[in-house]
Amino acid sequence: MNKGLASGLVLLTLGLVCGLLLAGVNAFTAPTILALENEMKFNSLNSMLEEYQLGTTADFVIDEEPLIGNVNDKFTLSDPVTEELQYVIYSVKARGYQSDIVMLIVVDSDMIVRGYTIVSEAETAGTVDFIYTVDYLMEGRLATDVISIDAVSGATTAKFSLAAVIRCFQYVAERIPVDFGGGV
Whether residue 48 lies inside any domain: the answer is no
CA distance 76 to 95: 25
How would residue 33 be classed by pLDDT, with cut points 50, 70 and 90?
confident
Whether residue 89 lies inside any domain: the answer is yes
Contacts 24+ apart (CB under 8 A), 64-70: 67/175, 69/171, 70/94, 70/167, 70/168, 70/171
Q: What is the pLDDT of residues 41-58, one digit of tens each?
A: 778 888 888 888 888 888
Whether residue 49 lies inside any domain: the answer is no
Whether residue 51 lies inside any domain: the answer is no
Whether residue 26 lies inside any domain: the answer is no
Does the pLDDT value for residue 139 go beyond 50?
yes
Q: What is the pLDDT of residues 91-100, one digit of tens each?
A: 999 888 888 8
Q: What is the pLDDT of residue 157?
A: 57
Which residue from 105, 132, 110 is spatially nearest to 49, judged by alpha carbons? 105
Whether residue 64 lies inside any domain: the answer is yes
Q: What's the structural domain count of the chain?
A: 1
Whether residue 17 lies inside any domain: the answer is no
When mean pLDDT is compared across 22-36, 97-111, 148-162, the lowest value belongs to 148-162
Does the pLDDT value for residue 109 go beyond 80?
yes
Domain that holds residue 155: 56-181
Is the pTM higher than 0.85?
Answer: no
75 has which bridge partners? 64, 89
